[in-house]
Amino acid sequence: MVDVSPTGEIITDKNMEIQINHKTNNAYQGKNQAILLKIKESNNYKSNNWLTFVQARDLKLKIKKGSKGISIFKGFNTVDEKTKDGKIKTVSVPMGFARVFNLDCTEKYNIKKTY
C-alpha cells in the first residue's frame, strides 16, 4: 500500500517496490513514485518499469492499442536570470509533465521483411 501525506511524503510499507524508468534505469522521485506505484497496483501490472512513448520507440517497442499513460511531473531546472538591477539570480523553472506507460503496456514491433 502507498499513500502521500499532506506534506508530500510517501507513506508505504517497507516492502515497496521502486518504480524506475526502463530506459534510464533511474528511480522516480517523490510523488511520482507514489503515483506510479498506486497505478501499478490498481492495474495489476507486474513490471516496475515505466517509459515515455518516445523512449519506447527508441527501444523498438510500441505501446499497445488502448493503453493509458500516466502524467508525471518532470521536476525543476535552475536557470540564471538577470534582475532589473543587473544582478544574477538563480531561479527554479518547472520542466513540465511527461506521460509514461508501464512496460506491461508495450510490445515489440513485428518487422516484416520485404524483398
**Is the model's pLDDT at 80 over the cut of 60?**
yes
- What is the percent of the chain with per-residue pLDDT over 70, rounded to a whole number? 81
| Residue 114 covered by a domain | no
**Is the model's pLDDT at 15 over the cut of 60?**
no
Give the structural domain span for 68: 2-108
CB of 100 closer than 8 Å to CB of 35: no
- Out of 37-41, 76-80, 90-94, 111-115, pick the least confident: 111-115
66: left (phi over 0), alpha (psi -120 to 50) or beta: left
In which residue are the cell numbers 493509458 written?
68
Mean pLDDT, the chain, integer: 86
| Residue 113 covered by a domain | no
Cβ contacts of 70 within 8 Å, gap of 6 or more = 35, 36, 39, 50, 99, 100, 101
| Residue 115 covered by a domain | no
Number of structural domains found in the chain: 1
Burial class (CB in 10 A: 0-12, 13-18, 19+), 73: middle
Local confidence band at 112 (pLDDT 50, 70, 90 cut-offs): low
**Is the model's pLDDT at 13 over the cut of 60?**
no
